[in-house]
Chains A and B, each alone.
Chain A
């Protein structure tokens, strides 16, 4: 970066670094949010100034933001700035751009903050993954979110490229008025939030590989990339062969690769780099708990949880941990939007603050389960375990377990 900065901006950047250093020294975590907040207080235009002269990719969506951002960063190769701790609002972006002078950045962006961040960072590419219900006690309902996205990437507001999931009607609604759009056609199973058309509220008709509404709102036909068994992109086919599990991660990789191709990054080389990812922020990686080996999976909402449940191996011992703190959403009603029937035939251990809500949910679909009031009791015993946890429960289990 070679950009002249005002004294105010310099003081703000110094403030971010100082607060984050102090935060780390006091053991209060990475301090990205605290430092970024101070920086934005000292200079409200800080994110815009830090973005100048950089090539930036923004990644947003209900599910897969963190993993797709990690894939994009890794696939890009070399020095790429990014909010790797998952602090995905402007204060986190400010901290990430203060911490690195790399001319390239991938910023995971909270759905509700997309408009602000698009305006401040003037990204080269915005990746829109999906939109579904998530923590509705905090955010607006999902259709309003789609409308806000639409306004911020509209042709009159945004000159860059939008890489968007063509299988999700709400994402298509959000992206269809963009100036430069690259559709990625991927398999999507979650349709719970797009049953009625965002234009006219009539029923969207879903077929095997397509969808349409009588009002003329249809799945885009001219796509840049298609994921089936292989990814077809730029006239070639690629077998993804990721180390990360789950069909949903192939979807994430397809969007990451399409956005990189847009910046003239070779798909083959990017894919080789992406295949080296085995864990993202502790997710998917193996952890040790007593004599047990655990795989920790983060599941924050119905669509994400459904995708994880579909990806479980038949023999896995499954524990599920559910909290309802502010970061999780205080309302656990969403448990009834998750197809827990997928756990039929297993015996599940219910953990977390809302373990009774979870056990009740499982009981009503005949999935046998135990309510575990004291997780320490599970430390004894061996075997491999897959733990599915929502946000703060996941954090607790990251602290409770050790890397393998």
Chain B
């Protein structure tokens, strides 16, 4: 189950009925297609309200509105999600999913709602909503996508950001998401892996414990085109690196 060759990779999409606002289910579509193209066996499981949390190689979390986000968080807390991750599962989270994994987040009716506490990250409400293209520099590579959220997320001292924001807001206008052992999170919502085939392959590589052979497809052209488009829009300060 955890990625030995010949074994089946299980991708569990968590509560698409609560967290699936912007085509977030697309990330599982992308991962399973790219895994199958490399001859890997993949099972995609949708975990919906009322069903128990199955063991999985990777859990995927999407975005959602306030009420559903709170319910998803409660269901994960009750369902033993943190234990599953502790046992070796990987996690990929976007938007509301990113907030849920932290220690606390702020939603309508609750200034501070307890998160799952898997990572040291606290989300509060920003003064404005950030809606638009987002680009983050992750270890020399661009992560491109679209964000639509009102959160400001502050990472604890031990938690590494996924990368530096080049366009858009991400966590706070400076960095986006976070990266921990077996865990990736970004504010680039929806099917962000569709636009970033390299990250899809990095996640799959982590699941099977080795680097994947390249699999050229039209997604590479899409990634190049999005990077070129967003590079032009990058503010001058960001390009010269004097933002801090």
Interface residues of B in 188-239 (CB under 8 A from A): 189-191, 194-195, 217-219, 221-222, 225
What distance in Å separates the Cβ of A120 from its nearest Cβ neighbour in chain B? 28
Q: Which of A133, A136, A364 contacts B30 (CB 8 A)?
A: A364
Q: Which residues of B contact A365 (CB under 8 A)?
A: 29, 33
Select from chain B the residue with minimum beta-carbon distance to A198: B67
- Decide yes or no: A137 and B23 within 8 Å by CB, A330-B132, A360-B219 being known contacts: no
What distance in Å separates the Cβ of A368 from its nearest Cβ neighbour in chain B? 11
Interface size class of B (residues with CB under 8 A): 35 or more
Q: Which residues of B contact A202 (CB under 8 A)?
A: 49
Q: Does A337 contact B (CB under 8 A)?
A: yes
Q: Does A357 contact B (CB under 8 A)?
A: yes
Q: Does A201 contact B (CB under 8 A)?
A: yes
Q: Does A335 contact B (CB under 8 A)?
A: yes
Check if B22 sits within 8 Å of A136, measured CB to CB. Answer: yes
- Decide yes or no: A356 and B189 within 8 Å by CB, A337-B23, A363-B219 being known contacts: no
Q: Which residues of B contact A336 (CB under 8 A)?
A: 23-26, 29, 190-191, 194
Binary contact readout B13-37 vs A (1 if CB under 8 angstroms, 0 otherwise):
0001110111111100110010000
Check if B194 sits within 8 Å of A357, measured CB to CB. Answer: yes
Q: Which residues of A contact B50 (CB under 8 A)?
A: 203
Q: Which of A141, A196, A330, A363 contacts B17 (CB 8 A)?
A: A196
Q: Does B81 contact A (CB under 8 A)?
A: no
A360 and B23 CA atoms in complex are apart in Å by 14
Q: Does B160 contact A (CB under 8 A)?
A: no
Q: Which residue, B24, B67, B218, has most C-beta atoms of chain A within 10 A? A: B218
Q: Which residues of A contact B218 (CB under 8 A)?
A: 356, 359-360, 363, 371
Q: Which residues of B contact A203 (CB under 8 A)?
A: 17, 48-50
Q: Does A157 contact B (CB under 8 A)?
A: no
A360 and B218 CA atoms in complex are apart in Å by 6
A371 and B18 CA atoms in complex are apart in Å by 34
What distance in Å separates the Cβ of A350 from its nearest Cβ neighbour in chain B? 9
Check if B148 sits within 8 Å of A143, measured CB to CB. Answer: no
A298 and B185 CA atoms in complex are apart in Å by 35
Q: Does B146 contact A (CB under 8 A)?
A: yes
- Decide yes or no: A331 and B190 within 8 Å by CB, A137-B131, A201-B71, A360-B218 being known contacts: yes
Check if B21 sits within 8 Å of A364, measured CB to CB. Answer: no
Q: Does B55 contact A (CB under 8 A)?
A: no
Q: Which residue, A141, A336, A363, A366, has most C-beta atoms of chain B within 10 A? A: A336
Q: How many residues on A have C-beta within 8 angstroms of the other chain's C-beta atoms? A: 30
Q: Which residues of A contact B4 (CB under 8 A)?
A: none
What distance in Å separates the Cβ of A53 from its nearest Cβ neighbour in chain B? 41
Interface residues of A in 318-334 (CB under 8 A from B): 330-331, 333-334
Select from chain A the residue with minimum beta-carbon distance to B188: A333
Check if B23 sits within 8 Å of A334, measured CB to CB. Answer: yes
Check if B23 sits within 8 Å of A201, measured CB to CB. Answer: no
Check if A356 sits within 8 Å of B221, measured CB to CB. Answer: yes
A357 and B189 CA atoms in complex are apart in Å by 15
What distance in Å separates the Cβ of B200 from its nearest Cβ neighbour in chain A? 10
What distance in Å separates the Cβ of A203 from its nearest Cβ neighbour in chain B? 4
- Decide yes or no: A364 and B148 within 8 Å by CB, A203-B49, A333-B26, A337-B25 being known contacts: no
Q: Which residue, A137, A195, A331, A357, has most C-beta atoms of chain B within 10 A? A: A331
Q: Does B65 contact A (CB under 8 A)?
A: yes
Check if B68 sits within 8 Å of A201, measured CB to CB. Answer: yes
Q: Which of B16, B22, B65, B217 contacts A334 (CB 8 A)?
A: B22
Q: Which residues of B contact A292 (CB under 8 A)?
A: none
- Decide yes or no: A196 and B71 within 8 Å by CB, A333-B146, A356-B218 being known contacts: yes
A182 and B195 CA atoms in complex are apart in Å by 45
- Decide yes or no: A364 and B29 within 8 Å by CB, A143-B67, A357-B222, A359-B218 being known contacts: yes
- Decide yes or no: A136 and B21 within 8 Å by CB, A203-B49, A357-B222, A361-B194 being known contacts: yes
Q: Does A239 contact B (CB under 8 A)?
A: no
Q: Which of B16, B23, B33, B131 contacts A335 (CB 8 A)?
A: B23
A196 and B225 CA atoms in complex are apart in Å by 37
Given A137-B131, A333-B146, A336-B191: 20 more A-B contacts, CB < 8 Å: A136-B22, A137-B146, A144-B65, A201-B18, A302-B23, A330-B146, A333-B23, A336-B23, A336-B26, A336-B194, A337-B20, A337-B22, A356-B221, A357-B194, A357-B195, A359-B222, A361-B26, A363-B33, A364-B33, A365-B33
A-B interface, 6 closest residue pairs, ranked by CB to CB distance from nearest: A336-B26, A333-B190, A336-B23, A195-B17, A203-B49, A356-B222
22 contacts between A and B (CB under 8 A): A136-B21, A136-B22, A137-B132, A143-B65, A192-B20, A195-B18, A195-B48, A195-B49, A196-B49, A201-B68, A201-B71, A203-B49, A330-B146, A331-B190, A333-B23, A333-B26, A336-B190, A336-B191, A356-B218, A356-B225, A357-B222, A360-B195
Task: Spell out B's residues near A (CB within 8 Å).
Answer: 16-18, 20-26, 29-30, 33, 48-50, 65, 67-68, 71, 131-133, 146, 148, 189-191, 194-195, 217-219, 221-222, 225
